[in-house]
Structures are given as structure tokens and as C-alpha cells.
Amino acid sequence: MHKVMAAALTGAALLSGLAGTASAQTDFPWPPKDVTPVHKTKAELRKQADEFSAHQHRSYPEIFPGASNVDPSPWGGGEAGDVYEDMQYMDSRVHFTYQGKLVMTYTKVNAPGEFRTTPEQLCERVPCDAKVSDNKGGLIVTAVHESYGVNVAWNFRPNGEVVWTQASLEEDLAQLATIASDRAYTFTR
């Protein structure tokens, strides 16, 4: 619970850091040096997926105050739940009710070294709103991707992982950044 509250407070701090800023951090070397690839068995990935889902049940009502009916889809690959063949990433959708409407977020956890696009390359393809430190040695990049109707937050981490979350344009970038920067979502546990 303390970790969830810390993540929510980080999100609040991000909200003030993200709002109206073009770029709070510009020099972030990617990929990091000495990235150690992580290869897990199907059983290890299933166990981790169960932990991710349990964390979503606990954390979403804190990140989205008052959220109810939190329903994570099974984690897996390529939006296919419970698929873990030689996976270097895991993804999941979460449906929940927030402020009287049905909301869906999509989160993808990339293993160290799997996400090769640099923050600069990313921002050339999708105009980025902000680049800010996650206060853990990483970088959070946010974008409003109007052509696809989504807000997106990426967390580039010092160990080479990238976690990203997206939701509709109606959802708050700071809340998405809180999810993306939550260290509960990791390949390296």
C-alpha cells in the first residue's frame, strides 16, 4: 500500500512537472551501457503475470481515485493473453469504471534491451509533450497521439527496460506516467 501511495504521489508530482512543459530532461543515453538480457521460462512469466494482475487490482483505485470493477486481461504477448513463447515483453489491458465511465488502459513491459527506439527517435515519430526524470535514474516521456486518439507514457529505465501505458485522450497523462514508472512492472524480478 505504501508503494502504491508513493506511486500516486509521484504521479501528482509528475502532473505538475508534465503540465505545460516542453522538455524537462533532454540528455538521456539510450540504450544504457551493459544491458543484461533477461530470459524467463513460461512458468516464471506466468507467475510474474499473476503478480502484475494482483498489483493492478490494488493500485488502480489509488491511481484513479474511486476506480471500481478493475478487470485486467491475462498478461501475455501481442495482446494475446497467456502466450509466453520466447517472450521478451508482456502486455495487458485493464478495463475499469472511473468517474462514471468505462476506461481501458494498455500496458506493455519490455525486457532489458528489447525496446531499441531512443527517446529522441520516439519523439520524432510522435510529438512528445514532456521528458522528465522518474527520480529513479530513468526517463518518462509522454505524448498526446491525436491521430490514434490516445495519450501515452513511456518509462525508459536504467537497466534497459521500457514500460509504456496508453489510454484514450480523455485520460490524464500523469496517471499513465504513474503506471508506466511503477517498478512493480518489471522483467528483472
Tens-digit pLDDT profile for residues 153-187: 999 999 999 999 999 999 999 999 999 999 999 98
Q: Give the tens place of pLDDT for each residue, 90-129.
A: 899 999 999 999 999 999 999 999 999 999 999 999 889 9
Query: Would you say residue 139 has pLDDT above 90?
Result: yes
Query: Exposed (0-12), middle (13-18) or buried (19+): which is 36, by Cβ within 10 Å?
Result: exposed
H helical segments located in 20-172? 42-63, 119-125
Q: Are strands 101-110 and 128-133 parallel, antiparallel or unpaired?
A: unpaired
Count of Cβ atoms closer than 10 Å to residue 186 Cβ:
18
Nearest to 106, CA basis, from 165, 59, 51: 165
Query: Would you say residue 79 has pLDDT above 90?
Result: no
HSE value, Cβ hemisphere, 13 Å, CA-based, for 113: 10
pTM: predicted TM-score of the whole model, two decimal places? 0.85
Average pLDDT over residues 49-73: 96
CA torsion angle 153 158 160 164 (round to 10)? -10
> What CA–CA distance (Å, rounded) separates 183 from 138?
11
